[in-house]
Amino acid sequence: MQNNTFSTLFVGQNLIKLLAVDSTNNFMKSMVSNSEPLPEGTVIMAENQFQGRGQVESKWHAEPGKNLTFSILLHPVFLAPGDQFRLNMAVSIAIQRALGALIGECLSVKWPNDIYFGDKKLGGILIENIISGSRIKASIIGIGINVNQQVFENDLVSRAGSICQILQKDVDLISLLAQICSHIEVAYLKLRAGNYSNLRQDYLNYLYRFNVKANYRQNGEVITGKIIDVSERGLLSLETEKGVLSYNFKEIEFIQS
Ligand code: BTN
């Protein structure tokens, strides 16, 4: 099971490459629920993910063979379900660091965990947890990164971007996957060791539109405000003329400027 491309202890050491699958998250979830013995850190990647899922029941589109679409299996049994946002923060920070080494500045995390370059979305994260009693028994970390895709269709044209558009050259998918796995492992081991001291501050440092006045939509109404905090549980705090308002995911939508 030793994977020599990955200089990790366990994340990515068991790498399952699929030519085509509906969704790597679905595939991994069914393996886990059928009690397939998968070691922690197993990565399932797909060359062609034809029914990728995103947050809020959206779809994740990725041109086959050009992008990273993969899922990582973790067992964060040390986290109570109420603390699951810690894993979101850790994974978002890890991806920022991995991509930052390649791209440099202008990367950010759009709350809760979209990966942005300027105002373009480069990637997204879909974490699905399997809860048992008061613990998170398994976590399927689904990650999609636009890597070598040059053309985006329809409504994605103005909103999505890719690494090759930024760097003006193609990037090796497996090397990038290895870098991401390595940063996720470091962040995860820190969480597992109970070291949360800088987690939220690091996340806030990467946050898209942090402390910037911008427009948002809530229940069809446009509100102007500044993101001033994200709580331990993942609630977004917006400073508005009505005071500081707090939002759960799905309750508020960013309006692109
Ligand atoms: C989002 O931004 O809405 C989250 C997108 C997550 C996409 C990834 S691609 C690999 C994994 N499998 C899926 O079906 N979705 C995630």
Q: What is the pLDDT of residues 210-246, one digit of tens each?
A: 999 999 999 999 999 999 999 999 999 999 999 999 9
Any atom of ligand 1 within 6 Å of the Cβ of 71: yes
What is 213-254's CATH number, 2.30.30, 3.30.2010, 3.30.750, 1.10.4160? Answer: 2.30.30
Nearest CA to ligand 1 atom 16: 142
Q: CA separation (Å) from 235 to 90, 228, 252?
A: 16, 11, 11
Taking Cα atoms as reference points, which of 239, 235, 230 lies closest to residue 205?
230
Please say if the pLDDT value at position 1 is more than 70: no
User: Where exactly are the structural domains of the chain?
Assistant: 15-205, 213-254
Bridge partner residues of 114 (DSSP): 110, 124
CA-nearest of 191, 147, 140 to 166 is 147
Mutate to test the pocket of ligand 1, among 32, 44, 57, 143 (most ligand atoms within 8 A of CB): 143
Hey, is 200 helix, strand or coil? helix
SS3 87: helix
Task: Please compute the mean of the pLDDT values over residues 113-121 and round it to a whole number.
Answer: 95
* Helix 173-192 vs helix 85-103: crossing angle, to nearest 10: 140
The answer to whether domain 15-205 has CATH 3.40.630.10 is: no
User: Residue 155: is its pLDDT beyond 80?
Assistant: no
Q: What percent of the chain has pLDDT over 70?
A: 99
Nearest CA to ligand 1 atom 2: 124
> Ligand 1 centre from 239 Cα, in Å?
30
Interior CA angle at 73 toward 71 and 74, to 5°?
135
pTM of the model: 0.96
